[in-house]
Structure 1
Amino acid sequence: MSDVRLASSQGRWILLTTILGSSMALLDSTVVNVALPRIGDDLNASLAQLQWTVNAYMLTLAGLILLGGSLGDRYGRRKIFVLGVVWFATASLLCGLAPNATALVASRALQGIGGALLTPGSLALIQASFHPDDRARAVGLWSGFGGVGAAVGPFLGGWLVDGPGWRWVFLLNVPLALLCAPIAVRHVPESSAGGQGRFDVLGAALGALGLALVTYALIEAPSGSFAVALTAVAGLAAGVAFVYVEKHRPDPMLPLDIFASRQFTAVNLVTLCVYAAFGGFFFLTALQLQVVSGYSALQAGTALLPTTVLMLLFSARSGALADRIGPRIPLTVGPLLCAVGLLLMLRVGPHAVYVRDVLPALLVMGTGMVVLVAPLTATVLASVDTARAGLASGINNAAARAAGLIAVASLPLLTGMGPEAYRSADAFDAAFRRAMPICAGVLVVGAVLAFAFVRRPAPDCRHPECLRHGCVTSPPLEPGRRT
């Protein structure tokens, strides 16, 4: 472990490279939705292909993020972080040059692998490099700047789509990587946990395979073919096999005994509900504003800013309040406020006026997110032993991403969207009006679970990444605590 001081030149370089690295993955999780209509028109893609453009990335990221953290602990956090940055940039270049939708989807899956390598390492490098007296402030700065990046993401994505074109949403990562990787190699000290256990490659493969097959079955279900039914059964079988392998391996990627904590299990169930609703909301709203309301990509991206800005400004206060009163009330009230916000989105239709129709819904939803996100992450970390905080956070982050993945795959099916629905304002608007109550209902289920099962003791959250994080697509990560 190093003792780099934040005020030193090396400390500033470390902070810069970790912010750049995490921002690459963070930006791509927020800007792509805004670009979807233009991608569809340019590549003549169906709705299913647009779903895969989002889901291919989330699939490999969710399936491999725990493995990525373990690789960093074993082989060196800086080494795996730099590998992830280079991998992510190469995949981004392939996305930007994709000649058709199939190539774009495959490149997005490769991007997710890069994200799984660099995302856990970004925060872990800060924790391993900085002097203990400076670590909390460094993590706070990392979270704050990451939140700013998340807030700017949709605006930047919209500007790129309307300006130089949607391909630059991906190509922008290349110069960031060319800046980030050399700084990391030169200024960031190497660190590792030095563990000798085996990697659970089989578990990671079964988990990712199960997610992939179920996602495929949901997206392709409208075809009604026998192959889709067979894929669904195979996906469920892979899920069962994953649980069996994790239960019987001596060194599993996902130790099932961690779910012996009732609080941990309950909070992860709430996470599944909350981030499934968020994933569906952000996927469909970016399309609704452009396809139905006639907004440009830049206007649609800017329209979504209030949710992230509210989280950046007020999450710390929400976390402090939850520290005093316990997590049960915030995790009950927060999802209910978000559900009201989603129902208010039913006012957003053709010729929607932003201040009158869109902004009130986003303000209510943003307030709900402020109330629940920081307490949710802090409660996950407090529900297990300190030594397992990194594992608990990784599981929670993967659960959130998997929930968003399933939501994006299933909502078009549940709302009857055809393959060309996003090309018809009337058809998409009708489906959107069916989707928002479904998402709101899932949030209500999350609130009921929180009220019924989440209890004190309230977490004494000393994790700045919980309180200042602005990403709306997943909870912040806490690195492993093995030394």
Structure 2
Amino acid sequence: MHLKRCITVGGMTKWRGNPWAVLATLSLGFFMTLLDMTIVNIAIPDVMRSLHTGLDQVVWTVGGYTLVLAVLLVTAARLGDLRGQRTVFAAGVVVFTLASAACGLAPDVGTLIAARVVQGVGAALLTPQTMALIIATFPADRRGTALGVWGAVAGVATLTGPTLGGTLVSAAGWRWVFLVNIPVGALVLAMTVLVVPDVRTGRAHRLDLPGVLLSSAALTCLTFALMEGDRYGWNAWIWGLMASGALLGGLFLRHQAGGQDREPLIPFELFQNRGFALMTALMGVIGAALIGAVLPLGIFLQEQLGLSAVHAGLALAPSPLVSLAVSPFAGRMSDRVGGHRVLVAGLLAFALGLGLVALLTGGDAHAWTFTAPLMLMGLGTGCMIAPLSAEAMRGVPARLAGSASGVSNSVRQLGSVLGTAATTALMTVGSPLDGVHLALALPIVLLALAAGALAFTRPRTPAPAATSA
């Protein structure tokens, strides 16, 4: 693999290609996009009042972003292979930052939704490049630690959105939920130019346009149906979309099977690696479980205990704080022992912590009741994310890192969408408290089953550093 390292002025030469400076840049950009998946939820009431619109329109400020992000991840990963991961990452940062400005200045809800869709395009462009660039930058013996930091950023961004969003809305208004991205995006772009090396494989590439169209259509149908199924009562139209998505997905896989010798969007060679296949599936499970844990608990704290959005976010803070502290150490353990046992321990710790949360969600609970279980959940998250990413990418050739990143991130995103749909449906069953308990049971069962399956899977010996072909 060839790394282009341009000489810069002002003493920045020593930082170009520095692994930890690269990791900081990529993690900050990744944090920005994931934060915007949850930070907007808390601003919805203010947006409705300010723009004089209804909930059915405003919810698409969240849905439009999520939909586009889920649909374009695989294609964006392939673009990274075509144009260079640094180039596509920088383009994503620019698009995301400009769209954030448009969101913050939007005069009406239609403009806001359109800007959020464009913001989702920017997020999709930059997200898969982060993992691919980490793989290219860090040697195999330090990759687990780096992916641990990257994973910690993912967990913290997802869980701190409500707290940060509530603070910004209370202090400055809903527009600053978006405008705050402008200085952060400018900083990430500057760091990208000065720090991140231009990683090239030295091979010519082509874009599989029929594959792009088929995969985008299939993911659009499936994601839209999952997001809107509960709203439309899972009627015939929603099931028709699900069937269409499944049919288009089958056509996409058939098209990919016939073009494996012509640089497909998804190289089937990836799934010959048992570890990648297993860990990618597990990413979907964990994506669903994280949403299935945070969503009902956040609603319980606000609706049942009467906490404000900011105080509910603060009550949930022990989990991301512990996860942030634990993830780098879990990544280091993943480097040393392969990560399998650390991952199983993380799954069990999260399931146990969430089980305690479910037992304690009653009429006599208060915010501090959940501190210890949330810390246990944070320990579990920290021990899950780092080994999961490291084990998924262990043994993946560098030439396939972009495609692998796109597939794994897409599966995780679809898992989050599915988890949201399932949690929303379960919370409507019985009384509000019954709904919370039932919704919390789903991720507990998923994680316990995943831990059991992994416990009977033979751990793999850490592979040597991947090299490009």
Q: TM-score range by the shorter chain?
A: 0.7 to 0.9
Residue aligning to 1:451? 455
Query: Which of 414, 421, 437 matches 2:441?
Result: 437
Q: Distance in 2 between matches of 1:415 and 1:183?
A: 43
The question of whether the paired residues in 2 share the 8 Å contact of 1:337 and 1:364 is answered with: yes
CA offsets 1:397-445 (integer angstroms, 9 cap, x no match)? 221111101211332124437xxxxxxxx96544322211112112222
Query: Which of 215, 229, 236 matches 2:246?
Result: 236
Cα offset, 1:290, TM superposition: 2.5
1:379 corresponds to 2:388: no
Residue aligning to 1:220? 229
1:73 corresponds to 2:77: no
Q: Distance in 1 between matches of 2:290 and 2:55?
A: 23
Q: 1:329–1:123: structure 2 CA closer, same or farther, 3 Å change rule?
A: closer
Cα offset, 1:361, TM superposition: 2.4
Q: 1:267–1:432: structure 2 CA closer, same or farther, 3 Å change rule?
A: same
CA offsets 1:96-129 (integer angstroms, 9 cap, x no match)? 345666654443332221012223445666777x
The question of whether the paired residues in 2 share the 8 Å contact of 1:56 and 1:105 is answered with: yes
The question of whether the paired residues in 1 share the 8 Å contact of 2:353 and 2:376 is answered with: yes
Residue aligning to 1:57? 65
CA offsets 1:295-345 (integer angstroms, 9 cap, x no match)? 222222222322222222222333344455554433333223222222333
1:361 corresponds to 2:369: no
Cα offset, 1:450, TM superposition: 1.6
Residue aligning to 2:4? 2
Residue aligning to 1:473? none
Residue aligning to 2:328? 316
Cα offset, 1:147, TM superposition: 7.0
Q: Distance in 2 between matches of 1:44 and 1:461?
A: 56
CA offsets 1:325-381 (integer angstroms, 9 cap, x no match)? 55443333322322222233332456742222x212211211211222222112112
Q: Distance in 1 between matches of 2:316 and 2:406?
A: 27
Residue aligning to 2:127? 119
Q: 1:188–1:433: structure 2 CA closer, same or farther, 3 Å change rule?
A: closer
Cα offset, 1:160, TM superposition: 0.5
TM-score if structure 2 supplies the norm length? 0.81
Q: Distance in 1 between matches of 2:223 and 2:265?
A: 22
Q: 1:442–1:124: structure 2 CA closer, same or farther, 3 Å change rule?
A: closer
CA offsets 1:2-25 (integer angstroms, 9 cap, x no match)? 347999424558847555533422
Cα offset, 1:136, TM superposition: 7.5
The question of whether the paired residues in 1 share the 8 Å contact of 2:319 and 2:378 is answered with: yes
Residue aligning to 2:274? 262
Query: Which of 211, 215, 226 matches 1:207?
Result: 215
Q: Distance in 2 between matches of 1:287 and 1:455?
A: 39
Q: Distance in 2 between matches of 1:189 and 1:319?
A: 23
Aligned residues: 453
Q: Distance in 2 between matches of 1:71 and 1:253?
A: 10
The question of whether the paired residues in 1 share the 8 Å contact of 2:155 and 2:323 is answered with: no
Q: Distance in 2 between matches of 1:399 and 1:31?
A: 22
The question of whether the paired residues in 1 share the 8 Å contact of 2:128 and 2:409 is answered with: no
Counting aligned pairs with the same residue, the percent is: 32
Cα offset, 1:88, TM superposition: 0.6
Report matched runs for 1:63-462 at 5 Å.
Answer: 63-98=71-106, 104-122=112-130, 143=150, 146=153, 150=157, 153-181=161-189, 184-185=192-193, 190-218=198-226, 219-221=228-230, 222-249=232-259, 250-323=262-335, 325-346=337-358, 347-348=360-361, 352-356=365-369, 358-385=370-397, 387-416=399-428, 428-452=432-456, 454-459=457-462
The question of whether the paired residues in 2 share the 8 Å contact of 1:13 and 1:183 is answered with: no
Cα offset, 1:198, TM superposition: 1.6
SS at match of 1:22: helix
Q: 1:329–1:96: structure 2 CA closer, same or farther, 3 Å change rule?
A: same
Q: Distance in 2 between matches of 1:337 and 1:136?
A: 24
Q: 1:54–1:336: structure 2 CA closer, same or farther, 3 Å change rule?
A: farther
Amino acid at match of 1:220: G
Q: 1:286–1:44: structure 2 CA closer, same or farther, 3 Å change rule?
A: farther
Q: 1:410–1:63: structure 2 CA closer, same or farther, 3 Å change rule?
A: same
TM-score if structure 1 supplies the norm length? 0.79
Residue aligning to 1:471? none
Q: Distance in 2 between matches of 1:54 and 1:102?
A: 13
